[in-house]
Amino acid sequence: MRLRFNVFGTSILIEKHGSEWRSFYANGDGKKRPADFVIPSDITEGDLLQYLGDLFHEDARPSHPEVVKLD
């Protein structure tokens, strides 16, 4: 499973491997690099949007006021 989010202007890709979430910073040309945050395995897919919003709320700006699921 692969999910993409715009988190207050930052593109984040999240993948599910077994019971583990893996997160990456993604750019427009398909490249990705490991992200510097952890998503607990008990977070459900439906809770990811809220979790990312809570984790990165300090990055919110008038030009990027929200977390949006892209897929």
Which tens digit of pLDDT belongs to each residue from 26-39? 987 878 999 999 99
Residue 15's domain spans which residues? 2-69
Q: What is the pLDDT of residue 28?
A: 75
The 3-class secondary structure across 28-69, one letter per residue, is CCCCEEECCCCCCCCCCHHHHHHHHHHHCHHHCECCECCEEE
How many Å is the Cα radius of gyration of the chain? 12
pLDDT in tens, 4-59: 999 999 999 999 999 999 999 998 787 899 999 999 999 999 999 999 999 999 99
pTM, two decimals, is: 0.91
Q: What is the pLDDT of residue 18?
A: 94
The band of 64, judged by pLDDT with boundaries at 50, 70 and 90, is very high
Look at the chain and report how many structural domains it folds into.
1
